[in-house]
Structure 1
Amino acid sequence: MNPYNQSQPSAPPPPYQSVVNDNRSDQNNPRSNEQRSPNFDQFVNRYEISPSFAERLHKLKGYEIVFICDDSGSMSAPIGENTNPLQNQRTRWDELEQTVSIVVELASILDTDGVDVYFLNREPMLNVRNSSDLEIVFAMDPEGATPIVPVLRQVLKDKRNQIYERNLLVLIATDGVPTDERERTDIHTLEHVLKNERKPTNQIPVTFIVCTGKMKIFE
């Protein structure tokens, strides 16, 4: 599924509503109109991206891009209906792999450093420049809880020095609410990190990609 073709709903799911609203204003970072490369235009045409969204994507040139992937057990849930019994039914995990691959392709066009891909329950993959590099880790079934907060804090710590050189875009793809070390729902701490530990906020936009069978993006 092409995540960039999804229309943005008027409001995010209730668990993330207050978090999402805090981030909408942080994307407004003016940049000069740079000449778009042929590779970028080919990317836009391949995924049938609208002109307005393509313009927004091009403004990410120069950003450090980090993807936080939910690899909890619930990501193995199937999506849609399996109309062909001879084929394995696609899961949220499969769809996430496709989404990350698209982001990696985009980032390789805009930034030669590639994308750092963090997971909630396994080691990160740094400087990913080719989607084929993701095949090994996505071949392993997702399992575990949803500890978004400690991973987000680790990203902010790892990128602390780079933030003063260029903006940091954090993409968080998940199908559930964050949990603490006891696997209890903990939205409050995530809100605290976004409001108080993400500094300077105007240089660290955070976008949530909701993986619930119909991929949606909330800023």
Structure 2
Amino acid sequence: MSTASSSKRSSKLFSRLLGRSGRAASPPPPPPSYDTSASPGTAVPPMAKDFRSSYVAPRGDEDPLELLKEYDTVFLVDDSGSMGGSRWKEACKAIMEVADIAARYDEDGIDVYFLNSKRYGVGLSTTSQVAELFRSLEPKGMTPTAARLDVLLREYMGRLEAQNAGSTPGEAEEVKPINLIVITDGAPSDDPASVIVAAAKRLDKGEYPLSQVGIQFLQIGNDPNAAAALEELDDELGPKHGIRDIVDTVPFKGKAMNAELIIKTLLGGINRRLDKRGN
């Protein structure tokens, strides 16, 4: 897995931070695809090594996904107990589809983290790497969406603000905009709204571009209460708190992802025009 670009080195810091639990984090484990001793767990859907997404870039027209080249794409996957069974298989199916496409446009690959597991993948560029990451993972535990978002967003905003102040510690790096895609059944056990509001306020205070940070929630399953919770994050935070809109939501019900849904999933958090179209 490549970590060639400076922006991806920051992802290793994400991984160290994700390991914290009230004390100094121990050194992060190696990327999952290097782990050959994992015990069997929930099986992922069988995927051919040469799997390719069904998405075909339009010919003769502007490809909307070209926008992804300007972003670091990061996936945060819900591996809580409520994601077990068919929902976990749906999540695997969805991420294989969108990760294949995202990796085509992000030259240094995509990053994948989980809400509970300490497994992570940095610089993933093939679907076989994504499949290996999911192999033997068993969904369990709570849904600490806010806690994980807080770690990722705080670290990102710290680097962004340091760059803006001209005092980035260590070697200089370009802090690219971030496209954060959260794949979940939509039932958090904590309060992601407060985390999102805090990040949006920092972005507004720093007068950063509206496209600097985007968060897309891809809902697995059709739980109406979960859908309502995610829609609140999408529609109500901006007007209620007087902040920019950095959130979009889209449902996925296990069927094949068509081109429109793929584009909405990958761009909805960073393209306001797509967000306003609704689901």
Q: TM-score, normalised by structure 2?
A: 0.48
Q: Is the 8 Å Cα contact of residues 150 and 195 (structure 2) preserved in structure 1?
A: no
1:149 aligns with 2:146: yes
Q: Who is 1:215 aligned against? A: 252
1:122, distance to aligned residue in structure 2 (A):
1.1
Report the aligned-residue RMSD. Answer: 3.0
1:72, distance to aligned residue in structure 2 (A):
0.7
1:67 aligns with 2:75: yes
What is the distance in 2 between the residues matched to 1:107 and 1:131?
11
Return the match for 2:84 from 61, 73, 76.
76
Cα distance, 1:94–1:193 mapped onto 2, change above 3 Å: farther
Paired letter, 1:75: M
Q: Is the 8 Å Cα contact of residues 104 and 114 (structure 1) preserved in structure 2?
A: no
Q: Indicate the SS of the match to 2:211.
A: helix
Identity of aligned residues (%): 28
1:195 aligns with 2:205: no
What is the distance in 2 between the residues matched to 1:55 and 1:196?
32
Paired letter, 2:182: I
Q: Who is 2:122 aligned against? A: 126
Relative contact order, higher structure (CA 8 A, sep 6+): 1
Q: Is the 8 Å Cα contact of residues 69 and 120 (structure 1) preserved in structure 2?
A: yes
Q: Name which one, 1 or 2, has greater alpha-carbon Rg.
A: 2
Return the match for 1:96 from 85, 91, 113.
91
Q: Who is 1:168 aligned against? A: 178
1:177 aligns with 2:174: no
Return the match for 2:131 from 128, 135, 138.
135
What is the distance in 2 between the residues matched to 1:115 and 1:132?
13
Paired letter, 1:151: R
Q: Tell me the alpha carbon deviations over residues 165-193 of structure 1, each in whole angstroms, 9 at most, x when there is no partner.
A: 3211011111023223xxxxx35424434
Tell me, which stretches of 5 or more residues in structure 2 are unaligned? 1-51, 164-173, 223-250, 254-264, 270-279
Q: Tell me the alpha carbon deviations over residues 71-115 of structure 1, each in whole angstroms, 9 at most, x when there is no partner.
A: 1111114xxxxxxxxxxxxx1111211222223222222122111
Q: TM-score, normalised by structure 1?
A: 0.60
Q: Indicate the SS of the match to 1:179.
A: coil
What is the distance in 2 between the residues matched to 1:98 and 1:49?
20
What is the distance in 1 between the residues matched to 2:220 and 2:199?
20
Paired letter, 1:115: I
Tell me, which stretches of 5 or more residues in structure 1 are unaligned? 1-42, 78-90, 181-185
